[in-house]
Structure 1
Amino acid sequence: MSQVPAATKAMRVLKFLASQPDPVPLDRIMRACSLPRSTAYHLMTAMAEEGFVTHLVDERRYGLGVAAFEVGSGYSRQAPLQRLARRPLAALADKVGESAHLAVLHGRDVLYVIEERAHGKPSLVTDVGVRLPAHLTASGRAILASLPQAQVRALYPDKDSFVERTGIGPQSLSALRTILAEARQRGYAVENGEVTTGFASVAAPVLDHNDLPLAGVAVTFAEDGPVDRAAVAEAVRATAATLTRRVGGH
């Protein structure tokens, strides 16, 4: 049992508020975080005084405060996920002899935050800072396959949500769901020529303590090259599992 229950309760409140699209009334915070009314009131007052919570008096609701934004900004500046992933990704690229990368979900795109290019391999479109449609990439599919179905449905509400690059790839939510179901079943996601003609990728998700995806680890290789795809997939899964443990996931 935690020796700092007040801190634990405060963190639960912050995580709950961060998951909400709008400020919420105290009663909802109480129910979601299993807090008695008196405890919730005193906790919210203290968090508001420190700037982590904003009390919207006229609306009788609570939302995240400026201090919470500063914490999030600090996380972005320090880039802990990238720091934790750099060496494992380099080891992955060395092991399989192909380029490896780490991507995070950004709307309906994936944003590439690390690329470890294998020796002698050509540069890829998946350079750091590049965004690509998540439903076409292996890393994006690995992330999407680990999201709740309602969230995937919200990301892809209609056919206009589905773009293409090489003339192939899912063009409907049902087609994407089939691809994601296959990824969940085999334990990793794949793409073949849907991002760049002649290249394929395999990827696995990095999960947090709630089993939600933080990122996707992927390896890209020439489709017609002498690649043992099963061995690459296993190495990718092992690297993703290592990062999952490093960020506190199961």
Structure 2
Amino acid sequence: MAVGNDDADERYKAPALDKGLDILELLSETEEGLSLAEIAKALDRSPNEIYRMLGRLVRRNYVVRTTADRYEISLKLFGLAHRHPPMRRLVGLALAPMRRFAREAEQSCHMVVYDRGSGVVLAQIDAPSYWGLSIRVGAHISLLNTGSGHVLLAFVSDAERAMMIEERVAVPNETWPERFEDLLAEVRERGYEIRPSQQTAGVTNIAVPVLDAGGRPLAALTCPQLDRLDGGPSPSREAILSLLLTAARDISAAAGVE
């Protein structure tokens, strides 16, 4: 995979690093793991070369050796990726679609990412009128009792979900929803969640995922929707959902994943 000047690439090659990255990339594409011989054959390298590198990757917990003497990628890279996500760039890409949503839907919205056991509010756009619900940027929210948390959990793999729940940081008054796995399956099937807020009366949370190229959630985009009581014109809940889905797709496209 040459990038830029070929001579410069040759001058600054790091064969051991390339070998380790080749192994990680290969294992990331398999579900049941590979044997030493299968890895060596796929990478066109000798088993001795691969064995030493695999030993280091296992020792550093990037790769797991199973009882069947096969090698699988661990969740360590997943954990590392979420310790320092590219928050500033994601916010920069999201602000324009979020502002457009708020203006057209006449509702506020916020974006939540997963970070070390909880959802974190990364960006917030207020409704254009004098009424709306605002969520503080930087606030940590429940994975179990919020639309954003449900979306973040629903669109990851079973292994990732188990890891996220295991390292979950509990928030005050948090409770396990009934039929939680069924709830997440419904969110995954529909592609969004519309559910009364479990924190604030009169609020309906509409939450959708911002997905990467592999279908994993970069973030959750959520509108704490409020109904007007004065009879003034406002978009329907269905129209608000459509606008929110469009905003999420626009953010994904801006991030270069569509």
- TM-score, with length taken from structure 1: 0.67
Give the aligned residue type for 1:171: P
Cα distance, 1:102–1:162 mapped onto 2, change above 3 Å = closer
Q: Find 1:148's aligned residue among 145, 157, 170.
A: 157
In the alignment, is the contact (CA less than 8 A) between 1:205 and 1:213 conserved in 2? yes
Q: How many residues align?
A: 220
Q: How does 1:1-250 map to 2 (within 5 A)?
A: 27=36, 30=39, 34-37=42-45, 61=59, 79-122=88-131, 124=133, 126-156=135-165, 164=173, 170-172=176-178, 175-222=179-226, 228-250=236-258
Q: In the TM superposition, what is the alpha-carbon distance from 1:110 to its structure 2 partner?
A: 0.9
Provide, for residues 45-64 of structure 1, a one-character-per-residue CA deviation record: whole Å limited to 9, x for no partner: 9xxxxxxxxx95xx974578
Q: In the TM superposition, what is the alpha-carbon distance from 1:215 to its structure 2 partner?
A: 0.4
- 1:79 is paired with a residue whose SS is helix
Q: In the TM superposition, what is the alpha-carbon distance from 1:95 to its structure 2 partner?
A: 1.1
- 2:214 is paired with a residue whose SS is coil
Give the aligned residue type for 1:126: I
Provide, for residues 196-239 of structure 1, a one-character-per-residue CA deviation record: whole Å limited to 9, x for no partner: 22212111111112221110111112256565111111111111
Provide, for residues 92-139 of structure 1, a one-character-per-residue CA deviation record: whole Å limited to 9, x for no partner: 111101001111012442100000101234464621100110222222
CA distance in 2, matches of 1:9, 1:95: 50
Structure 1 residue runs without a partner (length 5+): 19-25, 46-54
In the alignment, is the contact (CA less than 8 A) between 2:152 and 2:219 conserved in 1? yes
Cα distance, 1:87–1:185 mapped onto 2, change above 3 Å = same
Cα distance, 1:15–1:85 mapped onto 2, change above 3 Å = farther
In the alignment, is the contact (CA less than 8 A) between 2:107 and 2:132 conserved in 1? no
Cα distance, 1:17–1:120 mapped onto 2, change above 3 Å = farther
Cα distance, 1:8–1:135 mapped onto 2, change above 3 Å = farther
Give me the identity figure in percent. 22
Structure 2 residue runs without a partner (length 5+): 4-8, 10-14, 29-34, 63-76
CA distance in 2, matches of 1:35, 1:202: 46
- 1:171 is paired with a residue whose SS is coil
CA distance in 2, matches of 1:40, 1:85: 47
Superposed CA RMSD: 4.4
CA distance in 2, matches of 1:245, 1:29: 36
Larger Rg: 2
Equivalent in the alignment of 1:48: none
- TM-score, with length taken from structure 2: 0.65
In the alignment, is the contact (CA less than 8 A) between 2:143 and 2:150 conserved in 1? yes
Cα distance, 1:122–1:27 mapped onto 2, change above 3 Å = farther
Between stretches 212-221 and 100-109, larger displacement belongs to 100-109
- 1:37 is paired with a residue whose SS is coil
Q: In the TM superposition, what is the alpha-carbon distance from 1:245 to its structure 2 partner?
A: 2.2
Cα distance, 1:163–1:245 mapped onto 2, change above 3 Å = same
- 2:43 is paired with a residue whose SS is coil
CA distance in 1, matches of 2:212, 2:192: 17
Cα distance, 1:82–1:217 mapped onto 2, change above 3 Å = same
Q: In the TM superposition, what is the alpha-carbon distance from 1:77 to its structure 2 partner?
A: 6.9
CA distance in 2, matches of 1:28, 1:198: 60
CA distance in 2, matches of 1:60, 1:100: 43
- 2:152 is paired with a residue whose SS is helix
Q: In the TM superposition, what is the alpha-carbon distance from 1:186 to its structure 2 partner?
A: 2.2
CA distance in 2, matches of 1:194, 1:94: 26
